[in-house]
């Protein structure tokens, strides 16, 4: 058990809760864990007591740069053994913490969900399920197995019926939850947010810009290069943009198993010197890199995984005041109203045309930038997200 440093000062509520957040990732090296880290930080700012699990992955920590410093987070970090055979031992270890008021489960996989289910019954406390992805599709792609996808999908369905309350990241997941027969009053909307204190419009750092070999205009694609990542489409857009603007560059901000194939794709397009790959970047450094760009790209394919998402990249683009060109799937259009343009999925020509139109119209860029920042401040931020989580927790505790 590691007690991390003090959280940033914030607003404290009258009735703080003790919350156990059960999740299955290595917090220091898995970039998508930024979601649960941001949730935890905001809960701590409000005066709640948070216990957060960390499934330490020593190999990842040795092979990949750390993307988060959990020692600065606050709360209590519970380091667990990630091996499936150690699930019973993990449960025994978790039983030793002070009894929580509620368990918050993120991700349905058995290494986290089995302890969550057991402990919610053992302590006789509510279970909240934080549903943010179509795990059936993600597991199938990660494992290369439809069987793995079926198992993940089965867990998701079971958790909908077992959990006391459910938060959903998208309308797609809300409809799936309703279709499963879950009453609407047990479902809470919790789309992804941005940390609007860290992610805000700023002057670009010229030294960083020059050191990366960037030129104007610079396009950016930000995000993990793993499942449901379509950065190759951003490279294809750059190829067409450069036919008209030869100085254009693309910054691909993030790392993952697709990185090598993306480098090869850039080489095949003869864009090796015009696509800059950062690999993994610590979460608190991402705003520095995003500030170097003129336009942000958010390409997606049309499938259930992308329909289920409220993409973190879009929330952070909005907060930075970056004009956005995205594909019209899932929450993208709703998130970018006035702040960007959505085009049909995998239509590289349309994405290029809208990118060029924004580049050629400075007034449009300014308008989109201001609109995006407003949207982030009012809707897609972690404060609003946690407002809804608190309501879900309080509803569960009142039953």
Any idea which residue has 């419009």 for tokens? 201
Give the domain CATH number at 76: 3.40.50.2000
pLDDT on residue 143: 85
pLDDT digits (tens, 9 = 90+) for 353-382: 999 999 999 999 999 999 999 999 999 999
Q: What is the mean pLDDT of the chain?
A: 94
Predicted TM-score (pTM) of this structure? 0.94
Number of domains in the chain: 2
Same domain for 139 and 16:
yes
How does residue 204 score in pLDDT terms, banded at 50, 70 and 90? very high
Residue scoring higher pLDDT (262 or 5): 262
Cis before 282 (ω within 30): no
The reply to whether 269 and 165 lie within a common domain is no
For residues 179-183, average pLDDT: 98
Among candidate residues 253, 142, 182, the one with its CA nearest the CA of residue 262: 253
Statement to judge: residues 265 and 392 lie in one domain: no
Stretch 292-296: mean pLDDT: 99
Same domain for 30 and 19: yes
Query: In this structure, is residue 200 part of a structural domain?
Result: no
Distance CA 49, CA 7 (A): 11
Structure confidence at residue 7 as a pLDDT band (50, 70, 90):
very low
pLDDT above 90 coverage of the chain, percent: 86
Question: What distance in Å separates the CA atoms of residue 150 and residue 358, rounded to the nearest whole number?
Answer: 42
Residues spanned by the domain of 215: 206-378
In a domain, 126, yes or no: yes
Long-range contacts, 141-148 (Cβ 8 Å, 24+) = 141/227, 141/228, 141/305, 142/226, 142/227
Query: What is residue 195's predicted lDDT score, i.e. its pLDDT?
Result: 97
163 and 46 fall within a common domain? yes
Lowest mean pLDDT among 4-18, 37-51, 334-348: 4-18
- Which pLDDT band holds residue 62 (cuts at 50, 70, 90)? confident
- Say what the pLDDT of residue 1 is: 56
For the ranges 52-61, 70-79, 227-236, the maximum mean pLDDT occurs at 227-236
Residue 89: which residues within 8 A CB-CB, separation 6 or more? 81
154 and 91 together in one domain: yes
Same structural domain for residues 374 and 385? no
**Confidence grade of residue 57 (pLDDT, cut at 50, 70, 90):** confident
The answer to whether 250 and 238 are in contact (CB under 8 A) is yes
Tell whether 228 and 289 lie within a shared domain.
yes
How confident is the model over 109-130, as a mean pLDDT? 97
> So what's the pLDDT on residue 5?
42
Q: Specify the pLDDT at position 14.
A: 59
Q: Give the span between the Cα atoms of 124 and 99, in whole angstroms.
A: 10
């Amino acid at each position: 058990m590691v007690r991390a440093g003090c959280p940033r000062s914030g607003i404290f509520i009258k009735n703080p809760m003790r919350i156990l957040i059960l999740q299955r990732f290595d917090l220091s090296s898995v970039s998508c864990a930024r979601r649960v880290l941001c949730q935890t930080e905001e809960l701590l700012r409000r005066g709640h007591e948070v216990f957060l699990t960390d499934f330490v992955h020593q190999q990842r920590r040795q092979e990949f740069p750390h993307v988060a410093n959990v020692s600065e987070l606050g709360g209590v970090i519970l380091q667990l053994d990630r091996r499936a055979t150690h699930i019973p031992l993990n449960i025994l270890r978790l039983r030793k913490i002070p009894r929580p008021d509620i368990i918050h489960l993120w991700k349905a996989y058995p290494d986290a969900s089995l302890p969550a289910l057991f402990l919610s019954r053992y302590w006789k406390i509510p279970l909240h399920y934080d549903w943010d992805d179509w795990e059936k599709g993600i597991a199938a792609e990660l494992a290369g197995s439809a069987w793995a996808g079926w198992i993940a999908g089965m867990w998701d369905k079971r958790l909908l019926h077992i959990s006391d309350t459910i938060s959903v990241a998208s309308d797609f997941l809300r409809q799936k939850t309703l279709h499963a027969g879950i009453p609407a009053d047990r479902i809470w909307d919790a789309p992804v947010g941005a940390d609007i204190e860290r992610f805000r419009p700023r002057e670009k750092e010229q030294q960083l810009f020059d050191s990366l070999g960037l030129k104007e205009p610079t396009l950016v694609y930000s995000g993990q290069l793993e499942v449901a990542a379509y950065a190759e489409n951003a490279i294809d857009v750059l190829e067409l943009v450069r036919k008209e603007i030869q100085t254009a560059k693309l910054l691909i901000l993030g790392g993952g198993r697709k990185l090598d194939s993306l480098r090869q794709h850039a080489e095949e397009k003869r864009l090796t010197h015009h696509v800059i790959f950062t690999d993994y970047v610590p979460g608190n450094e991402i705003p520095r890199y995003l500030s170097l760009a003129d336009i942000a790209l958010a390409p997606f394919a049309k499938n259930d995984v992308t329909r289920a998402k409220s993409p973190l990249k879009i929330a952070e683009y909005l907060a930075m005041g970056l004009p956005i060109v995205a594909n019209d799937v899932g929450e993208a259009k709703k998130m970018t109203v006035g702040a960007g343009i959505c085009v049909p999925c995998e239509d590289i020509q349309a994405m290029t045309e809208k990118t060029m139109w924004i580049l050629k119209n400075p007034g449009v860029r300014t308008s989109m930038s201001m609109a995006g920042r407003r949207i982030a401040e009012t809707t897609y931020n972690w404060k609003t997200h946690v407002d809804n989580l608190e309501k879900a927790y309080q509803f569960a505790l009142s039953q």
